[in-house]
Structure 1
Amino acid sequence: MTEPLPPTPGDDGDAQRIIFAITAALLILVVTYKVGQSDAPVQPPDEVAMDAAFSPPEESTIPAGPDGDAIRRGRLIFTTTSAHAGQYVGNGLTCSNCHLDAGRKADASPMWAAWVGYPAYRAKNGRVNTMEDRIRECFLYSMNAPASKAGTPPPYGDDVYRDLQSYFAWLATGAPSGKPLSGRGFVKLAVTPPGHDPARGATVFAGQCASCHGANGQGQANPDGSYTIPPLWGTRSFNWGAGMAGVASAAGFIKANMPYGQGNTLTDQQAWDVAAYVDSRERPRDPRQTATVDAARKKYHAKGDYYGQKIDGKVLGGS
């Protein structure tokens, strides 16, 4: 059979091949574009919202009626704890000494971020905690309830918990849940090569902290027994079971928030060292200690704090 002759330039066959080539090229471009689109990372709208900084509502927007009354009571308990829940407070602190700006400030363990994070498992007590459980432990350790008139935190179901939770829930109005919020808890500082040292921290404390907290760390007391500036150690401060007795937590808080109103002005090393100095001073007994300091250290303080260690010739934790 005779093969057909190829078409000469300009005939219909040549035109068809050109059209085919153009069509194929366009098809490749379209497919490439579509594949590129499907491979590109797409951030869902809800993730965009979660990445944005959350701002709690203004106090002026607290509603009227019973709900608003509970929110206002909760705020008063939070900011002036001894005046409104004093029977359960065994020291000179308020909740807002650690949770700054009435629980609103990011990187100072804000309560709007805590509220959306519970219930949650806590290794500290080995179980899932509700927000009421968490508040109770704050009274037990940070407010040193064992030294209070009641000798114990508020009983479960007490109105103190109800009002505080009303306040926290209101602070979290509009906050997304299911994912940790930016600014929650305290800043997590990387460990520095020199480590932390109380002796170096004493120098930082004298230069940066003593003007407010006093050379002896006892803060500034008012005639009614409340404090304008909180005590950092001693009988009127948090006890050895409090989270702030852990050097890492204290360092993160100090880095982001201290000196007051001048957060992030200390170096990481200064924050670690001054935290070590503050947390290596004696403070009230850990309520979990039922036997010796050594036994309690092995069970509750295996790492991260100075409990049970000898500082200036004295074993800490036995007071």
Structure 2
Amino acid sequence: MKALLPLSLLFMAGAQATPIAMPDQSQLKVPGVAAAPQFVPPAESTIPDNAFGKLVREGHALFVDTRRLMPDAVGNGMNCSNCHLDQGRMAHSAPLWGAYPMYPAYRKKNDKVNTFAERIQGCFQFSMNGKPPAADSPQMTALSVYAYWLSTQAPTAVELAGRGYPEVPQPAQGYDFKRGQQVYAEQCAICHGANGEGQKVAGEYVMPPLWGNDSYNWGAGMHRINTAASFIKYNMPLGRPGSLSDQQAWDVAAWVNRHERPQDPRLVEGSVEKTRLKFHANDGVNLYGQKVNGVLIGQGSTR
């Protein structure tokens, strides 16, 4: 049997392997999360040495290095693994094994029953601010196969413990931008930059930008303060999940999402207000189309 390239080394079919450092986050624990039996995705050693295994590895490569390997589909500085930590494995970080078995499913966002491929296309359109690849494209096939493999032996249509981002109810005090700015400066800026610009090494992002042209756009689920607060509470700061209080998570999520980012690609007739009414008015807690300190939020980033 020929040697297989570890998933910690990224590769492109037909090209030389390019080492990509992928920290093992599988042992991170979230304080305060009730213990519950959790699904365990298969080990890398179980990937078969055949055509299926090749697609699993290609899908993994695309998942962790999306921006570089799919430049025509990604319009910002994000990779799939920025929102789905530990290469799509981590519980409470929207793991792929918690998503794949739940599709097809109805989504209020586009008011239709979506296949898993269509759900990924939505990620490219909004979180990646790009152009979704065709459902039958080789890249989409590889990404779907990787998600399928991570879901090996997971039950179908069963909400597994650790799926998605656990809800963090809005605190009685609501959210506060000044408190959020302080939390950001103390806990987040070291990785994401003082101005949310992220960090680059050799021209490639190693820490994702949180606002500005290279971040998720105004249509991404993460623009909702409640969604961002949930992700932050259970996953950030990296290596110390659960170390922030609910209040701190909400405050810093509000601070991040008060900054401009790429426009919602669903912009209605060039109008922020019409877009707000159609897509944002009943979409969780968000600032799109509102005024903060006299400035209209949702006009789109300019840097």
TM-score normalised according to structure 1 size: 0.80
Q: Which moved more, 1:249-258 or 1:174-183?
A: 174-183
What CA deviation, in whole Å up to 9, does each residue of 1:188-217 have, x standing for no partner? 012211011222211111111111111111
Is 2:59 aligned against 1:74? yes
Q: Number of residues paired by the alignment?
A: 262
Residue identity in the other structure for 1:309: Q
Matched with 1:314 is 295
SS at match of 1:90: coil
CA distance in 1, matches of 2:180, 2:80: 25
Is 2:202 aligned against 1:202? no
Is 2:195 aligned against 1:216? yes
Structure 1 stretches lacking a partner, 5+ long? 1-50, 146-151
* Residue 290 of structure 1: how far off its partner (Å): 2.8
Structure 1 stretches of at least 4 aligned residues deviating more than 4 Å after TM superposition? none
Structure 2 counterparts to residues 75-224 of structure 1, below 5 A: 75-145=60-130, 152-224=131-203
CA distance in 2, matches of 1:138, 1:153: 8
* Residue 287 of structure 1: how far off its partner (Å): 0.2
CA distance in 2, matches of 1:127, 1:213: 35
* Residue 60 of structure 1: how far off its partner (Å): 2.1
Matched with 1:233 is 211
Residue identity in the other structure for 2:141: R
Structure 2 counterparts to residues 22-37 of structure 1, below 5 A: none
CA distance in 2, matches of 1:194, 1:287: 33
CA distance in 1, matches of 2:211, 2:170: 24
What CA deviation, in whole Å up to 9, does each residue of 1:87-113 have, x standing for no partner? 111000100000000000000000001
Matched with 1:60 is 45
Matched with 1:250 is 228
Matched with 1:263 is 241
Residue identity in the other structure for 2:114: N
TM-score normalised according to structure 2 size: 0.84
* Residue 155 of structure 1: how far off its partner (Å): 2.1
SS at match of 1:87: coil
Is 2:282 aligned against 1:281? no
- Aligned-residue Cα RMSD (Å) equals 1.1
Matched with 1:30 is none
Residue identity in the other structure for 1:290: V
* Residue 63 of structure 1: how far off its partner (Å): 0.9
What CA deviation, in whole Å up to 9, does each residue of 1:270-298 have, x standing for no partner? 00110011111100000000320000000
Structure 2 stretches lacking a partner, 5+ long? 1-35
Residue identity in the other structure for 2:136: G
Question: Is residue 101–residue 151 contact of structure 2 (8 Å, CA) maintained in 1?
Answer: yes
CA distance in 2, matches of 1:274, 1:90: 25
Identity %: 48
Residue identity in the other structure for 2:236: M
* Residue 223 of structure 1: how far off its partner (Å): 2.4
